Structure 1
């Protein structure tokens, strides 16, 4: 197998999901544009070009509100599974292993391997940052997409208020108002339910060959397999 083909295989999970993401985003743009213009026509308002729609607040707020809920889900899953457990789930550590773990278990500092990442070997502040880098980056992505949602959501909401002859809301008024939180909570509740369902159903159900599942013959009580 050539080096390029090997790199494709070794990164196939990420590449396929990025491809699915782009396909879904493009699909959302086209059907969202059609739905938006249909609504505009029913209201007797002017339609928008595709370019104006995908760079406008109506499309961008829909994208941002989904992104922020996804990154919130992964941030909480990463952080909460440090201490919280679900006996029998492959998504959980053993109940006795709850917590950050020892330096020896985490292979950091003096316990690092020769091929460990550099920041895992150096210790100190850099080691502390690296040991929490995944959660920190997910938190930053959540906060960034949350802010993007708040800005684009305000613009979209003010467009609706303007068409109704009402004044604009400030950013502070919008993020403390019902439209922003209705958009956020409707996504959060579905993400939280999905994670809870996965953690619990994986105790009893199997998917042969998937790392998200225990081996088919593993006991239901086997945790973290």
Structure 2
């Protein structure tokens, strides 16, 4: 168990932090939601009711979809786009999908290569893009979940205010849906751009996301 935790500490720690933050969001969101209900003259709801409410779900998944969008764009855009001097980028002259030799494909596979990397044909092609595809699917699934949860939450708010409900299609064109989406997307785009340029000039000793402390600003390779 100790060896497992040491070898998977990054996933374990951030998985636990995720659960702690999610629980914290649940209690804080419940308190905030009840404050808004009380301010509007509506009765408060219990923790169980809030747990399965659209209001809690939409607050959760609207952040998930933006994170998966960030990773999808980052994984796929860095195939072709570069930032000179950033360890988040390939060297300027190496933009593109790279050769089979660099990707350890074709006659360059080894016995330890993943099975689908050794298989050839459509399986290798699919596996060659599986990370980006996985992030895209997770983004689309969480965005669809946000759309439905946002729609239910919006109609709940309409009902409490004695206003007519709207169809899902109408909600997809409503400011509420796009405000929830775009306010998260813009922060993710800013974060990617900031990391790409700041990592050219700043360092974090021991981090694989940083170049060696003494590496030149113009070098993109983490090895310096």
Q: TM-score if structure 2 supplies the norm length?
A: 0.97
User: 1:160 aligns to what?
Assistant: 157
Secondary structure of 1:206's counterpart equals: coil
| Offset of residue 108 of structure 1 | 1.3
Q: How far does residue 164 in structure 1 lie from its aligned partner after superposition?
A: 2.1
Residue 65 of structure 2 corresponds to 68
Offset at residue 166 of structure 1 (A) = 1.9
- 8 Å CA contact 1:202–1:213 kept in 2: the answer is yes
Query: Is 2:198 the counterpart of 1:201?
Result: yes
- Residue of structure 2 equivalent to 1:128: 125
Q: Deviations over 1:150-188 (max 9, x none)?
A: 000000001111122222111111111111000000000
Q: How many angstroms apart in 2 are the aligned matches of 1:151 and 1:110?
A: 48
Q: Give the CA deviation at 1:38.
A: 1.3
Deviation at 1:191, TM superposition (A): 0.7
Distance 2:14 2:189 in 1: 21
Q: State how far apart, in whole Å, the 2-side matches of 1:60 and 1:154 are.
A: 11
Is 1:25 the counterpart of 2:22 in the alignment? Answer: yes
**Does residue 181 of the first structure (1) align with residue 170 of the second (2)?**
no
Number of residues paired by the alignment? 222
Q: What displacement does 1:224 show?
A: 2.9
Distance 2:65 2:170 in 1: 20
- Give the TM-score normalised by the residue count of structure 1: 0.97
C-alpha distance in 2 between matches for 1:138 and 1:190: 18
Which residues of structure 1 form unaligned runs of 5+?
Answer: none
In the TM superposition, what is the alpha-carbon distance from 1:109 to its structure 2 partner? 2.3
From 66, 89, 92, the equivalent of 1:95 is: 92
Aligned counterpart in structure 1 of residue 189 of structure 2, from 188, 192, 196: 192
CA contact (8 A) 1:110 1:121 kept: no
